[in-house]
Amino acid sequence: MADRVISLTPTTALFLWHGVMRRALREEHPDLTARQFALLLQVFLTPPPHTVRGLAADLAMSKPAVTRALDRLGRLDLVRRKRDKDDRRSILVQRTVKGSVYLREFGDLAAKVAKDLP
């Protein structure tokens, strides 16, 4: 990967988080829980396929919790469920354009905050 954090000290990380969360709260970024957000990132930043049980294992959460998080993210159209044709018990969690836009905006926000850091 070409882009890289050259140096992020613990203190700077705290200021970064502070700036980002503060601004995210103000902008009414539909406030996802930590788990919902982690799930969204997992789907977009790691290679498919993404199943419910796989996500549950990856993020150390229960399957019902994953189902509910998918309900919420699906309602927001940030991810989409699709049945696996090869094993119709499984569902494949897929990315959506809206989810991609949402994360790009978040990344932009974080980058901007980082640039203006004390």
Distance between CA 57 and CA 95 in Å, rounded? Answer: 19
- Which of 53, 63, 71, 111 forms a contact with a copy of itself (CB under 8 A)? 111
Query: Rule CB under 7 A: is residue 88 a binding residue for DNA?
Result: yes
Q: How far is the CB of 114 from DNA (least distance, A)?
A: 26
Distance between CA 116 and CA 111 in Å, rounded? Answer: 9
Query: Rule CB under 7 A: is residue 61 a binding residue for DNA?
Result: yes
Q: Which does 79 bind (CB under 5 to 8 A by kind): a copy of itself, DNA, none?
A: none
Burial class (CB in 10 A: 0-12, 13-18, 19+), 73: buried
Helices 52-59 and 34-45, axial angle in degrees (round to 10):
110
* Residues 113 and 23 sit within 8 Å (Cβ to Cβ): yes
Q: How far is the CB of 94 from a copy of itself (least distance, A)?
A: 18
Binders of a copy of itself among residues 12 to 31 (CB under 8 A) are: 12-18, 21-22, 24-26, 31
Measure the CA angle with vertex 94, ends 88 and 96; round to 5°.
Answer: 145
Binding site for a copy of itself (CB under 8 A): 1, 3-18, 21-22, 24-26, 31, 33-35, 37-38, 41-42, 44-45, 58-61, 103-104, 106-108, 110-111, 114-115, 117-118
